[in-house]
Amino acid sequence: MKNEARHLHLHLISDATGETLLTVGRAASAQYPGVEVIEHMHSMVRAPKQIERLVAEIGQEPGIVLFTLVDRSMATMLEQGCRDIGVPCFSVLDPVLQVFQSYLGAPSQGRVGAQHSLDGDYFRRIEALTFTMMHDDGQLPEDLDLAEIVIIGVSRTSKTPTSIYLANRGVRTANIPIVPGIGLPVELESATRPLIVALVATPDRIVQMRENRVLSNSSFGEDDPYVDRAAVANEIAATRKICARNGWPVIDVTRRSIEETAAAILALRSKQGTTGKLGKDVAGRDEPAR
C-alpha cells in the first residue's frame, strides 16, 4: 500500500446535507477493510470563506477530498486550494452530470440541494416513515391493508431496520413478529393490498444475534428457549410452513445486508405489481442468499 498508510482522512464537502457523499465515500472505503477511514463531513458549504477555512483544515489532516459543489466558482476554488497543498480532490457529481448533459443535450441547472426539495416524493417518504414507526412490531394490525409491504419473521431477522429502510424509499411498511404460541393477526390473512414477505436466517445466525441481545438483558436465562438452537430451528420451520400455506415469499437474510434484503423485497413487489399475487411457486423457494 502506498506509504504503508493504515488510515485515511476522507474529507467530504457538500453544499447540502452531504448524504450523497457519505454514501459514495463509505461504498469506496468498504473496499479497503484494512484501512481505518476517518470521515470529516463538511456540509452546507456555500461561501468562499468556508472554502478557505476548509483548505486550511485539510492541510492539517491531508487525505482524499470528495465534493459536491454546484457553484462552479467555489468548486474551482476548492480544486485549486487542494492542488496547492498536494491532496487529491474529486467532484462526485461532475462525471454523472456530464453524461446527462451529453445525452440530453442541455446543461444542468445548478440547483443547490435540489435532491432535498420539498416535493411530493419528500412528503411521501415522511408519510411512509410515520406509518412504519406506528406499525412496528405488530402494532395496529387493523391497518395492515393500508400497508404496501408487510414483513413477518421470528425475532432477530432484521424486520425493523429493513422496514425503516423501505420507508425511507417511500414505501409504507409494517412488520409483525412470529412468536411461538402466539398466532398471527387475523387481519394479516385477510389483507389483499400489501405484499407479505417473511424473513428467515439460519438457526446459528439467529442464535448468535439473540445471544448478543441476551448479554444486555438480564431477564433471559441461560436455558431460555429464545437462544436454544433446536427451538430456533422449530421457529424457522414454522415460519416456512405458514408461508407455504399462504403463498407468501420467503427471503433468507443470513448473508444479506439490509440494503440487499430491501432490494429483494422491492423486486418481489415489482413482480406482484405486474402479475398479481405471487404464486406458491415463489413462496416455496427462498431468494438465494448472496
76 is in an annotated binding site: no
21 contacts 14 by C-beta, under 8 angstroms = yes
CB 265 within 8 A of CB 162: yes
Distance, CA of 188 to CA of 191 (rounded, Å): 5
108 is in an annotated binding site: no
On whether the CB atoms of residues 174 and 143 are closer than 8 A, the answer is yes
229 among annotated binding-site residues: no
232 known ligand binder: no
Phi and psi (nearest 5°) for 111?
-90, 120
Tell me if 130 is assigned to a ligand binding site: no
65 among annotated binding-site residues: no
Q: Is 156 annotated as a binding residue?
A: yes
Q: Is 158 annotated as a binding residue?
A: yes
Q: How many CA atoms lie within 13 A of 140 on its CB side?
A: 14
Residues facing 286 on adjacent strands: 250
Helix (H/G/I), strand (E/B), else coil: 136 = helix
Residues 6+ apart with CB under 8 A from 197: 149, 150, 151, 152, 248, 249, 250, 251, 265, 268
Residue position matching grid coordinates 409483525: 176
- Please give the Cα distance from 163 to 169 (Å, whole number): 10
Specify binding-site residues for ADP.
Answer: 153-160
Specify binding-site residues.
Answer: 153-160
